[in-house]
Amino acid sequence: MHPKILLVDDREDNLLSIETILQPSGYQFVKANSGRQALKILLSEFDFAMILMDVKMPNLNGFETASLIYEREKLKHIPIIFITANNFGDENMFKGYQTGAVDYIYKPINPDILRAKVGVLIELYKKTRLLHEQEQKLIAINRSLENEVKDRKTSEEKVIQLNKQLIQNINSLESANKDLEQFAFMASHDLQEPLRKILMFSDRLYQKYHEVLNDDVRLINRIQSSAERMQALIIDILAFSRISIDKSTYVKTDLNVLIQEIVNDNDDEIQSKKAKITIEQLPTLEVNPRLIRMLFYNLISNALKYCKQNVCPEIKVRVENNLLINTRDKKYCRILVEDNGIGFDQKYAEEIFGMFKRLHHDSEFSGTGIGLALCKKIVEQHKGHIAALSEIDKGSKFIISLPVSSGE
């Protein structure tokens, strides 16, 4: 915007003369024919760069008008230059300065002097205005920073509270999990005794009455079969509940030896199904041997169980890509257990690791649906990962990633 100047003089020709001299400088002018009119204008407009005002005017002279102008706080920043045809002497000039004047211009007006004095004040006005704008920006920035700091403190306090709540929830969940695991352990343990009696008494009934009952002996067989399935389920639940509370130390374990022991334990089934098991050179890892043995026992047993009819099972245990490094620069060993069995639809690749999840009916394949859930929990206990890749009738591949370091 062009700087705005208020011209105050009771004579129109004087106003026109001043405007003509200053017009080329690009100023904006507002004119008043009296002190009262000037005061009226200043009631609604405050953004004047300066005021050029005649001293000698009827009713209110320049000094009186200036005094009234500077009574208002909003107008005290506007500099006033008096224009006069008289040399008042030092005393009257001092009076003018007391009312707020910054300078005098004498008539007849020298255009160069007028332009120079006005130019100095306009330049000062521009710099003052720029400083004021910068001050307002700084105030706004400071206010924004204060709000940001306040919001950040509020957010930090919320995060601290949420973290406290999260820790409490984690502690509560850990406590609940321990209670549940302990309950599962105790419940499963206590269920075994009555179950053993059911098996024992049903066996006695069978031995004593199977010839008498004839076809009804199947009822006893069904009791025994159901009790055996329940016993297997209880054993698996006990195994699952023991994993989290297993405090066995992690020791360097040769996986070749461990898996060979598993193969030897399954020798009868391997021979009966004419299975071929290939074990490539495996590493020595720092693991919980008992749990890792259970892991590979379940995977190899499943591979033998879910084989195709009239097809000899082929199972391969090998290391893929040797050592892998994750985003946290932690080294993992990836071990694959592959088979040529019946496979499954890949859409169930996540679900099969759930508790009691089975893709086949008992009449097809026996089981409790806990084996792979055990595998997942064992691997997670070792801070590792397990996944499955499969396709119906094209076998399955289980990928176990175990940390090379201890399972701390």
What pLDDT sits at residue 288?
Answer: 86
- CA separation for the pair 137, 49 (Å, rounded): 21
Place of tokens 């499955």: 388
Rounded mean pLDDT for each run of 10 residues along the chain, 408 residues in total = 89 92 90 94 89 90 89 88 73 67 84 90 86 87 87 85 86 71 63 72 73 70 70 62 63 89 87 87 87 88 84 88 59 88 84 69 59 86 88 88 69
Instruction: Identify whether the C-beta of residue 335 lies closer than 8 Å to the C-beta of residue 402.
Output: yes
User: Which residues are paired to 252 by β-bridges?
Assistant: 286
Residue 42 near residue 5 (C-beta atoms within 8 A): no
Which pLDDT score, from 0 to 100, does residue 407 have?
A: 47
Separation of alpha carbons 229 and 246, rounded Å? 25
- CATH number attached to the domain at 4-109: 3.40.50.2300
DSSP structural state of residue 346: G
Candidates 205, 394, 370; CA nearest to 308 is 394
What local confidence, expressed as pLDDT, does residue 212 receive?
Answer: 72
Residue 99 burial (C-beta neighbours within 10 Å; 0-12, 13-18, 19+):
middle
Sign of the CA dihedral running 221, 226, 231, 233:
positive
What is the distance between the alpha carbons of residues 242 and 178, in angstroms, rounded to a whole number? 10
Cα distances (Å, whole numbers) of residue 394 to 340, 341, 385, 397: 6, 7, 23, 10
Tokens of 282: 């495996």
Asked whether 332 and 326 are in contact (CB, 8 A), the reply is yes
Query: What are the structural domain ranges in the chain?
Result: 4-109, 248-403
Cα 363 to the chain's mean position, in Å? 48
pLDDT in the model for residue 181: 65
My answer on whether omega of the bond before 108 falls inside 30° of 0, hence cis, is yes
Burial of 349 from C-beta contacts in 10 A (0-12 / 13-18 / 19+): middle
Q: 319 near 280, Cβ under 8 Å?
A: yes
What is the spatial distance between Cα 367 and Cα 302, in angstroms, rounded to a whole number?
Answer: 10
Q: CATH: 1.20.1050.10, 3.30.565.10, 3.40.50.720, 2.40.50.140. Which one for 248-403?
A: 3.30.565.10
Quote the pLDDT of residue 408: 44
CATH topology match: 4-109 vs 248-403: no
- Residue 110 CA to residue 112 CA, distance in Å, equals 6
Q: What is the pLDDT of residue 6?
A: 94
Predicted structure pTM score:
0.49
Indicate the residue type of 5: I
Q: Which residue has the tokens 């590493």?
A: 283
Tell me the two tokens of residue 180: 């549940």
Please tell me whether residue 151 adopts helix, strand or coil conformation: helix
DSSP string, 162-194: HHHHHHHHHHHHHHHHHHHHHHHHHHHHHHHHH
Q: What angle do CA 252, 314, 332 make, to 5 degrees?
A: 30
The whole-angstrom separation of Cα 143 and Cα 139 is 6
